[in-house]
Amino acid sequence: MIAFLQPLALLGLFAAAIPAVLHLLSRLSPPTVPFPAVRYLAETEQRQSRRLKLRHLLLLLLRTGLIASLVLAAARPVARVAVGRAHAPTALALVLDNSLSSGAVVGGGRVLDRLVTRARDVVRRVAPADRLWLMLADGVPRPVSPDEALGLLDSVAPSPRRLDLGRAARTAQGVVASAGLPDREIVLLSDLQRSALSGGEPVPVRVLAWTPGAVPENSSGDSGGAEPGGWSPEGEVGGRGGGTGGAPGALSPPPGGQSPTGGGA
């Protein structure tokens, strides 16, 4: 696949038609006026005319090709091929939403683990001429090398901070725009909780968002209390989860008085 870094320059291809138009205009023959002194030169003129027509045709093709080549060069074509994964130097901001909701377990694995796996795939495609920033739930864009990014991804964990995805995208747009590279891109990896989505001005940069699919709704614990008031291993903990609208659920501690588990909230 071939892309152009300056596609508007392709409008200059219309100029490639100028030599053809001039050629057609030059073919308009004036009226013939018989002149006895040059009557015997008619045969010689026909032979010369064939040579001139061929020469004019070659000149026409040469001029048209020259104009088209200059226009295509100004458009800066880039071939995107699978072998070698060639692409224009790119300023890439990788936004990884590792807020608390990413710690949810789906299908036997954490949502965050799937996000990190996809983030590693993105980092491994970064070329030496590219520039990379990594942003986590704290909203701080970190300029990193691919090796540094992989090291940070190895230690990332769910964060108590909530990432505003709209603000994060606008912040990422600012840093990639400052790089001065011909291509700019934001890759956003998140479970796309509704509380993380905010409005604002559109981002004038290509944004690629990826979500791991169906994830649990991000609920909150609104209230809780011990039953009875004096805690004992036989007691219960009642709680209500925000957004569920259900009745308080009972949580029973395991033997030994460890952290309570089980039950619905």
User: What are the sequence ranges of the domains in the chain?
Assistant: 2-29+44-79, 90-210
Instruction: Confirm if 187 and 94 have CB atoms less than 8 A apart.
Output: yes
Q: What is the CATH number of domain 90-210?
A: 3.40.50.410
- pLDDT at residue 39, rounded to an integer: 58
Query: Which of 210, 144, 200, 129 has its CA nearest to residue 171?
Result: 200
Q: State yes or no: cis peptide before 228, omega within 30 of 0.
A: yes
Q: In 3-state terms, what secondary structure has residue 215? A: coil
Q: Give the integer Cα–Cα distance in Å for 4 and 235.
A: 69
Residue 176: which of 207, 200, 152 has the closest Cα? Answer: 207
pLDDT score recorded for residue 16: 76
What pLDDT is attached to residue 122? 93
Over residues 164-203, the pLDDT tens digits come to: 888 999 999 999 999 888 899 999 999 888 877 877 778 8
Three-class DSSP labels, 228-251: CCCCCCCCEEEEEEECCCCCCEEE
Q: Does pLDDT of 251 surpass 50?
A: no
Residue 212 has pLDDT above 50, yes or no: yes
> Would you say residue 243 has pLDDT above 60?
no
- pLDDT tens-place string over residues 102-138: 888 888 888 999 999 999 999 999 988 899 999 999 9
For the whole model, what pTM was predicted? Answer: 0.54
Would you state the pLDDT for residue 22? 74
- Rama region for 32: left / alpha / beta (φ>0; ψ in -120 to 50; rest): beta
